[in-house]
Amino acid sequence: MFADEIRLFDLPAGDADAVPVIFAFPNTYEIGITSLGYQVVWRLLASCPGVEVARLFTDIHETLPARPELFGFSFSWELDYDNVLALLEKQRIPVWAAEREEEHPLVFGGGPVFTANPEPFALFFDFFLLGDGEELIAEVIAAYQQVRTASRRQKLLRLAQIPGVYVPAFYEGDYREGEARIEPVVEGIPATLERRTFRGGQLSHSAVVTERCAWPGIFMVEVARSCPEMCRFCLASYLTLPFRSANVETGLLPAIEKGLQVTNRLGLLGASVTQHPQFAQIIDYLARPEHADVRLSVSSVRTNTLSPQFCRTLAARGSQSVTIAIESGSERLRRIVNKKLSNDEIFSAAATASAAGLQGLKLYGMCGVPGEIQSDLDATAELLVRLKKQNPRLRLSFGCSTFVPKAHTPFQRYGVDPKAEKKLQSLQKALRPQGIDFRPESYNWSVIQALLSRGDRRVAQVLERTRHYGSTLGSFRRAFKDFKGQLPPLDYYVHAQWPDGATLPWQHLRTGLSESLLDRHLDQARSEMPVLTGGAAS
């Protein structure tokens, strides 16, 4: 598979005394190499002078060093955690950080899951990289090279001085009275840690192009980072603010031109691609005759930015559908989550897509949102049925997930609605007979995601035990029974609404947004809620 890659960056000259690094993705090559975040961090590591990097996936790997000094993971999906532990064991590295000795590599991790709340995984890692890696990777490597011959503890003490580096062993948790206080226990270690934010004009793009990935032959380019809309459940917005867009002239278009030299398949990525201030210019560029053979894919776009020109260009460049997130058919519920979108705009977007020649419209929504009542679910079904009747030639699909609380968002203290599974079933009964492709996300997986999203360090023992039982919700319940009396029950992490003002497991990690701002956004949401109970009104 590696031989099929077209590499798009130059490697520095080899160094006989280079630091040996393993950089892993805890899933298969096809999935991992499709992750733009993994590709970018691999390129950053490989481009550092005096570093030799070998890639590792669950199915294949490059030639691995016999004595790696650093062992990193790019981690973007909570449920891959068991593969992290399995990969460590295959390299004969203890899964518990406290059991590693001087001859073992320092194990580190980065990615949105760890930046939001690394605590459930903290006992498995020596350090975490919080936030954007563009500047942080080079600083970590330079610092490590300064203390390369020092003791394990001295290396970690040096790395802990870098803004954005979190060394869990230098902190302890206090879990009394239903709170989770994480405090430093080593002198000179900061009490709070800020994530790193990259503000350069050129955002990320593919480091390699390959046919052996989930999107064969695609060149990915990041158009914008974060999202200015701040939907109150959305980790991608609150965790990564401020909204940043790539410089079109010096960053984005040169990157696209570079990619199109090796492939005709282009993917524009970002949480809010169409809100780039010069997005029309980008589309004009791609609509030129010399790009007639380009096959264009775009990540989910904001509904009210779906212009006729954009849709026509998508259709002309090989896309058969476009994806929008509507969250709900209820305008009241959209006000609760701060989704600035009207039903009229949704109908307009569908008509625009159909008129431009697109064949499908993919919509995403959510159930179990705090404050949701039955009439909101009814409104969702009614809107989708009307969309289908008004646009009969469009293939409509509706992907619906269960609300999962995320750290650093206004809804972080809410739990998963225990009635969400029945709500998904009711939507299925209403939509599938109408010819709408309904695609619900597994409720059980949502429960597990919530555990990993809101967990503290005590959850680590459950994670290590569960992987031996099998990755099912029943396995997690079994593991919690094993540790009954040693940590709170599963429902505490998943379904409970935590008190306002209670200290949270991730409160020592800062994203740049104050707690008072999150509280203000929560108050605005609650002003629209008819009932305020456990996880969601019903």
Contact partners, residue 253, CB within 8 Å, separation at least 6: 282, 285
> Which pLDDT does position 471 carry in this prediction?
80
Helix 36-46 vs helix 136-146: crossing angle, to nearest 10: 40
Residue 40 confidence (pLDDT) above 60? yes
pLDDT tens for each residue of 310-323:
999 999 999 999 99
Q: What is the pTM of this model?
A: 0.95
50, 90 Cβ separation under 8 angstroms:
no
Local confidence band at 494 (pLDDT 50, 70, 90 cut-offs): very high
Q: How confident is the model at residue 537 (pLDDT cuts 50, 70, 90)?
A: very low
36-54 average pLDDT score? 96
Q: What is d(CA 374, CA 376) in angstroms, rounded to the nearest whole number?
A: 5
Asked if 452 and 465 touch (Cβ cutoff 8 Å), the reply is: no
**Full set of structural domains in the chain with CATH:** 2-194 (3.40.50.280), 217-526 (3.80.30.20)
Under the banding of pLDDT at 50, 70 and 90, the label for residue 30 is very high
Average pLDDT over the chain, rounded to an integer: 94
Range scoring the smallest mean pLDDT among 39-43, 51-55, 86-90, 196-200: 196-200
Percent of the chain with pLDDT over 90: 92
The predicted structure's pLDDT at residue 299: 87
Please check the confidence at residue 538 and state whether its pLDDT lies above 50: no
Report CA-CA distances (Å) from 534 to 98, 376, 404, 409, 499.
37, 18, 14, 18, 10
Distance CA(39)–CA(30), nearest Å, equals 12
pLDDT of 519 strictly over 80: yes
Mind listing the pLDDT tens digit for each residue in 338-375? 999 999 999 999 999 999 999 999 999 999 999 999 99
- Give the pLDDT score at 536: 41
**177, pLDDT greater than 80:** no
